[in-house]
Structure 1
């Protein structure tokens, strides 16, 4: 999932625009990507204005908790300000102090609106802390672990400290303390997945077993192989309904995707990076819509469903609704050598935790819009998301499309795509995976 603005278009207007979007998609995928396609809000002037809007929000007065206490009536203020903080990633001391002050509320009884503000502060606080650890935020993560009754916030705080380089011994001490505070921690998805990930040694099963496996007969399988470091680009490969890897001009077809979370949150939290595991591919969501262009780009989005995510028509073809059989039912979709491998179960647990709205999409944002993109030159041009898989989509200073990968993917998947996506972190390089695929194809 990627960040988007609240739409102001009425439903009727959307219904009118949907057929136009489909027509535009057909036209633009039928021609070479768009030396001719121009999007006015992609011009350099529009992009400068857009970033300046975020910069204008970053002022000491805006972070003043005496002026803007964390109460229901200030929820919109904090949502906009914290989003701007995530985009700009300012390093001013007063900003970290304010977020640390908001996090002192994690042990208190809060209204739903207050809790939403505190949770977003935890997300953005994690982002700032991992960019540059500071004692004030560290102290609040520790306080949350010690005092908060919200197990998700406790798990998020543990995850942030672990990602910052806390020693294994210190991590285990925190885990032991959490287990004392929450004796039934294994029954809570956030605590169970965080602690299991930190304490379970992982050795990736044979990639060849996964490549040769058929999840469900006569279904496309889109493999996305990623590095454990999600700032690196992932590589997608497609197996068609007959079980053959797709080629283009005689060569194995592949395309890069990015699965990095803007906030550097782990996969088991809302707005975290794309979880590993199996997803159902079920249709597309039409674009363009200028209200959503910046987040999602010009082209249609590929719609994905986690195993337990509501809204899917048929996670298993011929069976209505979500996946049945719980974890055993999910593991049965994997080759035997992968069924006890915890990381590949991530999409199952993410769906159990309520994560949803996973998509593959482009991005209308200028890569320079997000300040922290500068730290990841290896994925230059691609934008982070908050759960989705991000494809390349670049525009020149006049708003003309220079390059886009979504048309190629949509072409390969077909007009009404169905099948499965498998996201896997692998120690193998893209070249090594390609070699394994070639060996299987002989």
Structure 2
């Protein structure tokens, strides 16, 4: 989920990127983001490196001002700052692991996973043997699993947590360790059946098609209430670049992980006061368990949640395809506030990344937005185009499907969807 409140006063005032939306778009709003000017971005970078990260870097190893340390973890992770200084901060952080609170540990593990995938294997192996917190245990396990450590993680999980199947995060960890998601991807059901199923509810739908590796941008398309697709002036299905990768690139069942695969409920078009999301309208979405069933399904059903209800939004041949259950389980695990939005984050933080010039968030779907460095005026926005395409229906309720196409390591292209 996107953390709503973090006890880091300095970080809250300057850096916290929260994916949240507010109902109602001010149609008179001028799309101008002062935060996106070169002057503001330089000031932010200096603040980040000199005070937020630098302040922790110069502290003694036995000092544990959790507020400052967590601010540094978030700052270096969200900006993908990799250097000797940030590596040393994480190294020092592990020496304080047992003294820190769960929130401190989570920040440390997230930063290590985000920035240094192979550098802290020994440290993670050490704390794995001591950690009893389910979420933190899962974060350590996925670090070691990704690093290819030859360790019986499933057996350790079962011994440490005999009832792990009753804990959503641990059950999803077991699913992640099994590799079942990638195995099933080879037998993904036909998309045509999914498109046809939309007529069962007759509401507009946005589909976001992604790769299994979220480090490569995907594409969104819009299906109208009548089942047809929004097309451009040349008669082709209109596509909108979109990144479903979180800055951490952690699995979707964990806090600040990637956007879960599955279906979200569109509750309307909103906007955000968060300067890093920017002034472009947002698609306000809800996950299972985040919203009551009647709100999620746009109905009067007030019964309790069930997987059967969730799968009713898919055609029959999709119901046994377990990867699409990710949104259901992520919602049950407590994730929330995942929306589709623009971005004023400086893309230069990610200029070496495969998704450049898009920028990742904390688990939301982010669009490509480019801003004038001198004036802060919006130059290009796939988010604005997506909002216009969806809003043309004059219906602000609907559904948002996030679907992984395959495991190719390249961006999703329009011709991939034509096929």
- TM interval, short-chain normalised: 0.7 to 0.9
Shift of 1:326: 1.2
The counterpart of 1:68, out of the listed 60, 63, 67, is: 63
Q: Which range moves more in the overlay, 37-46 or 78-87?
A: 37-46
Cα deviation, residue 3, structure 1: 8.6
Equivalence map 1:19-168=2 (5 Å) = 22-25=26-29, 38-57=32-51, 58-59=53-54, 62=57, 64=59, 66=61, 68-69=63-64, 74-86=65-77, 87-92=79-84, 93-105=87-99, 114-130=101-117, 133-134=118-119, 137-166=120-149
Select the residue among 292, 310, 313 that pairs with 1:330. 310
Shift of 1:391: 0.6
Paired residue for 2:164, among 165, 170, 185? 185
Q: Distance in 1 between matches of 2:58 and 2:194?
A: 49
Provide the rounded CA distance (Å) in 2 between the counterparts of 1:418 and 1:431.
26
The equivalent residue for 1:11 is: none
What residue number does 1:276 align with?
261
Match of 1:381? 357
Preserved CA contact (<8 Å) 2:205 2:222: yes
Aligned partners of 2:92 and 2:142: how far apart in 1? 21
What CA distance in whole angstroms lies between the structure 2 residues aligned with 1:275 and 1:341? 14
Is 1:391 the counterpart of 2:375? The answer is: no
Please give the secondary structure, in 2, of the residue aligned with 1:205: coil
**Deviation of residue 332 (structure 1)?**
2.3
Q: Give the counterpart of 1:349 among 329, 339, 352.
A: 329
Question: Deviation at 1:55?
Answer: 0.8
For residues 110-169 of structure 1, what are the alpha-carbon distances to aligned partners after superposition, in whole Å with 9 as ceiling and x for unaligned? Answer: 7xxx22111111111211222xx11xx212322333221111111111111222234xxx
**Aligned residue for 2:299?**
318
> Aligned pair in 2 of structure 1 residues 311, 286: CA closer, same or farther (>3 Å)?
farther
Query: TM-score, normalized by length of structure 1?
Result: 0.81
Contact 1:221 1:422 in 2 (8 A): yes
Instruction: Kindly state the Cα deviation for residue 7 of structure 1 after the two structures are TM-superposed.
Output: 6.8
CA, structure 1 residues 327+124, in 2 after alignment: closer, same or farther (shift >3 Å)? Answer: same
1:334-384 deviations in Å (ceiling 9; x for gaps): 11211122211000000000000011110112211x3xx1332x4222100
- Tell me which residue corresponds to 1:246: 230
Per the TM alignment, residue 279 of structure 1 is displaced from its structure 2 partner at its CA by: 0.2
Q: Deviation string for 1:386-415 (max 9, x for gaps)?
A: 110001111122123221122211112226
For the 8 Å contact 2:270–2:284, the answer to whether it is kept is yes
Q: What is the alpha-carbon distance in structure 2 between the residues aligned to residue 88 and residue 333 of structure 1?
A: 37
Structure 1 367/140 Cα, relative in aligned 2: closer, same or farther at 3 Å? same
1:299 partnered with 2:280: yes
Partners of 2:295 and 2:54 in 1: how far apart? 49
* Alignment match, 2:346: 366
> Could you tell me which residue of structure 2 aligns to residue 439 of structure 1?
none
Cα distance in 2, alignment partners of residues 268 and 340 from structure 1: 19
| Residue 426, structure 1, aligned to residue 405, structure 2 | yes
Change (3 A) 1:313 1:282: farther
Matched residue count: 389
Query: Where in structure 2 are there 5+ consecutive unaligned residues?
Result: 5-10, 15-21
Asked whether the 8 Å contact 2:231–2:237 carries over to 1, the reply is: yes
TM-score (ref. length: structure 2): 0.85
Contact 1:189 1:353 in 2 (8 A): yes
Distance in 2 of aligned mates of 1:283 and 1:303? 5
* RMSD of aligned alpha carbons: 2.7
Give deviations 1:207-249, integer Å, cap 9, x for gaps: 3322322275221111111011111111111111111111122
CA distance in 2, matches of 1:210, 1:161: 36
